[in-house]
Amino acid sequence: MNSKIMQEDIKTIAQNIGENVQRLSGATVLITGGAGFLGNYFILTIDYLNKHVLKKPCKMISIDNFITGLKYNIEDQENFKAIKHDVTKPLQIDEPIDFIISAAGIASPLFYRKYIIETIDVGVFGTKNMLELAKDKKVKSMLFFSSSEIYGDPDPRFVPTPETYYGNVSPIGPRSNYDESKRLGETLCIAYYDTHKVPIKWVRPFNVYGPGMRIDDYRVVPNFVANALQKGFMPVYGAGYSTRTFCYVTDAITGFFKVLLSDFNGEAFNVGTDREEISMRDLAKIIAEMFDNTVEIRNMDGPTDAYVTADPKRRCPDLTKMRTKLHYMPTVDLRTGLKRFIRWVIETHDIKSLYVDILRKKKIIE
């Protein structure tokens, strides 16, 4: 890993996981979607824990078919094995497995409208295959990545949204292949917990962003930053009044580890931040300020129907459950997280942009 920003992030996560971290000592973790944004953070964090924290090293096996994932950030080494495999097909693993992190998915609306059926398959069959593996291997814990999208377009009376809210989801709308497959993924989780006592728990992440995201995947933070740097404008799809809460990756990964290493089974946990619910227009304005207002905010149609017509109006988690049961406390404010993300983009991408000088003058980057 050659990114200073990511190295700092990994250290922060490792320091905040809590005392249950030693449950990983000498264990084997299987992670699906390891070549993606969050998967890479898990792998790098466990690598750091192996070097600095754990009594015995934790072995990692990562499964990814690279449908959207680009690469692993960890170098080859004895505690890490990568297998190219599509998790919608059954998986045979000979060695024992203690933990499963089921993070394979097609998360960006751009890609899940391109790979419509594959998105359903990974949410449903990918999850079922991992639950079967967890049952056969008698794992200590399995974590499934659901999504805050299972809440659909929530009734404003249920924003901030608690885990008990059932959701308001179209079964046939432009986002349904993603939303409904995550919902059925959760149903499979509870079914395997009830029937086979698989120690499964799942998270519903709310707009996690940070270093390691593909800057071309059209999720809003990379999309704004990459377009500002390369084209001098930020595309706001539709009027830009929809709101989201953006959780920096260090806070989110800390929360995910807390859930994985806990003894809560058969339960859902919101993970995100509840501090700054912000409209897309205002998010663009904050980023524009960082560029000394030299970049334009441009309203336009989205690249697919998932963006404007089917865009949920609000998204903000109720974090009471995470705070009280797992002492989760997101700490990174939006401006700090955005600066870190911009620094990482400049650090790792070969971007020749006149805006780099402006960012340096504004002390957004060094």
Ligand X SMILES: NC(=O)c1ccc[n+]([C@@H]2O[C@H](COP(=O)([O-])OP(=O)(O)OC[C@H]3O[C@@H](n4cnc5c(N)ncnc54)[C@H](O)[C@@H]3O)[C@@H](O)[C@H]2O)c1
Cα atoms in the Cβ-side hemisphere of radius 13 Å centred on 293: 2
Closer Cβ to ligand X, 199 or 205, answer by number:
205
Distance of closest approach, residue 144 Cβ to ligand X, in angstroms: 9
Residue 248 is classified by DSSP as E
Distance (Å, whole) CA 365 – CA 360: 5
Binding part of the chain for ligand X, among 104-112, 235-243, 278-286, 326-334 by CB under 6 A, reads 104-112
Residue 20 is classified by DSSP as G
> What tokens were used for 151?
């809440």
Closer Cβ to ligand X, 67 or 297, answer by number:
67
Q: Which of 126, 240, 302, 330 binds ligand X (CB under 6 A)?
A: 126
Distance (Å, whole) CA 225 – CA 208: 15
65 belongs to the binding site for ligand X (CB under 6 A): yes
Return the biggest CA–CA distance within the chain: 60
Q: Which of 12, 68, 304, 348 binds ligand X (CB under 6 A)?
A: 68
100 belongs to the binding site for ligand X (CB under 6 A): no
- Residues in the chain, total: 366
- The footprint of ligand X on residues 144-183 (CB under 6 A) is 145, 147-148
Catalytic residue chosen out of the listed positions 41, 151, 165, 178: 178
Q: Which of 45, 88, 177, 181 binds ligand X (CB under 6 A)?
A: 88
Distance of closest approach, residue 324 Cβ to ligand X, in angstroms: 22
Helices and strands: H and E segment counts in the chain: 12, 13
Distance of closest approach, residue 268 Cβ to ligand X, in angstroms: 12
Distance (Å, whole) CA 245 – CA 255: 16
SS3 142: strand
Distance of closest approach, residue 183 Cβ to ligand X, in angstroms: 12
Q: Which of 24, 44, 69, 250 binds ligand X (CB under 6 A)?
A: 69
Is 248 one of the annotated active-site residues of the chain?
no
- The footprint of ligand X on residues 190-229 (CB under 6 A) is 205, 207-208
107 belongs to the binding site for ligand X (CB under 6 A): yes
Distance of closest approach, residue 120 Cβ to ligand X, in angstroms: 11
Long-range CB pairs of 290-294 (<8 Å, 24+ gap) are 290/338, 290/339, 290/342, 290/359, 290/362, 290/364, 291/228, 291/355, 291/358, 291/359, 291/362, 292/358, 292/361, 292/362, 294/232, 294/355, 294/358
Give me the residues that bind ligand X (CB under 6 A), please.
32-33, 35-39, 63-69, 86-88, 103-107, 122, 126, 145, 147-148, 205, 207-208
- Catalytic residues, by residue number, are 178
